[in-house]
Amino acid sequence: MSGNGSHRYEGMSRRRMMARTSMGFPLLALAGLASAEAKAAGRLRQAPGPHHKPRAKNVIFCYMSGGVSHIDSFDPKPRLTRESGKPMPFPIERTMFNQNGNIMGSPWAFRNYGQSGIPVSDLFPQMGGVVDDLCVIRSMTVKFMEHAQANFYFHCGQPFTGFPSMGAWTTYGLGTLSENLPGFVVLGSGEIPLGGINVFGSGFLPAVHQGSFVYPERPEPLQDVTPKEKDSLQRARLRFLSEGDREFLELTGGEEQIEAAIRNYETAYRMQAAVPELVDLSGESEATRRLYGLDSAQPGKAAYGRQCLLARRLVERGVRFIELTMVPPKGLGGGNIWDQHSKLREGHEGNAFVVDQGIAALIKDLKARGLLEETLVIWSGEFGRAPFVQGSDGRDHNPYGFSLWLAGAGVRGGTIFGATDEYGYRAVENVLTIHDLHATVLHLLGIDHERLTFRFGGRDFRLTDVHGQVIHGILS
């Protein structure tokens, strides 16, 4: 030990040392934090981006887990109706269950909406009402037809666990705008998409960047957010620990990793007040509550509308990346809710009723408050569905061409980009990959996807791997 170190320790009396150790050895505990978690928090101040002027400050991702049928929602195919019941006229790839029947036309009519005249099916009349703000992409593709792999691929750019999600990369690249809330929040319905919690994980990035779950429908929306002791005692304990932490910093000469860990735990303390305030909607007007469908007698619709309203409130509070999870009609958990291998009509109608009003309300509300121009909204499932029947009334998975839409910051509203063939089976025009989508999202946030890297295992990783091109054709 150096001379300076011995003098520092001599400055701590026996009584002071006993006081420190009696509360659980905070100095030793904090030393332990200087590992993965502490290093994680240390990067908050050293965010690599932005690399250029951003168009978006925040992202809201409305994830339709299970796979919405594009040919029954945003990509009408009259030929399917004309040839319904006939065999497919060309060979098709193996599907998930390989129970491939004849062509099945859509059970729903399509109508043209807005000044743009974009067709939307009767599943989503409320979204049709905001179609002039949407950029509908009809040519997305993925490489995987199994749910868990596709969920990881859509979120992380890789088909398996261990890689950071899009939300984690966003906060790693830009840091957080909120002192009281995490930079990446997942609004949970009770279940998560197939693949598990790592779909929202930080992978090899510092753990501070993983998605934090908030459950609006639960008595305790954030686990352990309700203090187990009086506020005065908790403040005294936090103050005591902070003093010990600062003394440790003096002894070590100052460590950014340790300082960041201290900030992280202080943020956790502030979240005890911030999260209850976030989910308390008593200050929202009755008109706003009705707009989002919170007055609905259908529990799923009210629950999803609450998620949409909370997404707006999270944007207002500076949260960078917000993901909404699916709520089934009964209001319980639903991790794979759009997966209609049978009863397509019943399942899709029930799910659409749950989400349609809330999502349309979110677009309207963000726009009315001037927030849409700096918020990117994404709507998609992990893949589309096949143009031929499975069983008597279902559709199997289709990764070869499907639809999603973007709205808000930097996106050309009222437009259609790309196309599938006449049967909606395969993308044929402006064919896109998930890497292209990820590159575009990062671009709108001010990040060059090729420069946002993290070194792990001896190589530099990025969200887009070694692929991805910004989709300039959809940008305003």
Domain segments of the chain: what residues?
52-229+284-474
pLDDT score of 5 more than 70: no
Instruction: Work out whether the CA dihedral 93, 98, 104, 105 comes out positive or negative.
Output: negative
Contacts of 192 (CB under 8 A, 6+ apart): 186, 199, 200, 325, 335
298: amino acid identity, one letter: Q
* Burial bucket for residue 38 (CB in 10 Å: 0-12, 13-18, 19+): buried
Which residue do the tokens 């109608």 mark? Answer: 349
Query: What's the chain look like in SS3?
Result: CCHHHHHHHHCCCHHHHHHHHHCCCHHHHHHHHCCHHHHHHHCCCCCCCCCCCCCCCEEEEEECCCCCCHHHCCCCCHHHHHCCCCCCCCCCCCCCCCCEEEECCCCCCEEEECCCCEEEECCCHHHHCCHHHEEEEEEEECCCCCHHHHHHHHHHCCCCCCCCCHHHHHHHHHCCCCCCCCCEEEECCCCCCCCCHHHHCCCCCCHHHCCEEECCCCCCCCCCCCCCCCHHHHHHHHHHHHHHHHHHHHHHCCCHHHHHHHHHHHHHHHHHHHHHHHHCCCCCCHHHHHHCCCCCCCHHHHHHHHHHHHHHHHHHCCCCEEEECCCCCCCCCCCCCCCCCCCHHHHHHHHHHHHHHHHHHHHHHHHHCCCHHHEEEEEECCCEECCEEECCCECCEECCCEEEEEEECCECCCEEECEECCCCCCEEECCEEHHHHHHHHHHHCCCCCCCCCEEECCEEECCCCCCCCCCHHHEC
| Residue 194 scores a pLDDT above 60 | yes
What the block records as the tokens of 253 is 């000469």
Burial class (CB in 10 A: 0-12, 13-18, 19+), 462: buried
Q: What is the pLDDT of residue 265?
A: 67
Q: For position 230, what pLDDT does the model report?
A: 60
Q: Which tokens belong to 290?
A: 């009705």
Range 52-229+284-474: architecture per CATH: 3-Layer(aba) Sandwich (3.40)
Q: CA-to-CA distance for 103 and 129, rounded, in angstroms?
A: 30
Has residue 380 got a pLDDT over 50?
yes
pLDDT in the model for residue 188: 87
Quickly count: other Cβ atoms within 10 Å of residue 11's Cβ.
10
- What pLDDT does 94 receive? 87
- Cα(367)–Cα(261) distance, integer angstroms: 37
Closest of 63, 62, 81 to residue 72, by C-alpha: 81
Q: Are strands 134-141 and 415-417 parallel, antiparallel or unpaired?
A: parallel
Residue 256, pLDDT above cutoff 60: no
Q: What is the mean pLDDT of residues 417-428?
A: 98
Q: What are the tens digits of pLDDT across the range 313-362? A: 999 999 999 999 998 887 655 678 999 999 999 999 999 999 999 999 99
| Average model confidence (pLDDT) across the chain | 87
**If you average pLDDT over residues 31-44, what whole number do you get?**
43
pLDDT digits (tens, 9 = 90+) for 130-187: 999 999 999 999 999 999 999 999 999 999 999 999 999 999 999 989 989 999 999 9
pLDDT band at 217 (very low <50, low <70, confident <90, very high): confident
What Rg, from alpha-carbon coordinates, does the chain have? 25
Say which range, 52-61, 94-103, 266-275, 376-385, has the weakest mean pLDDT.
266-275
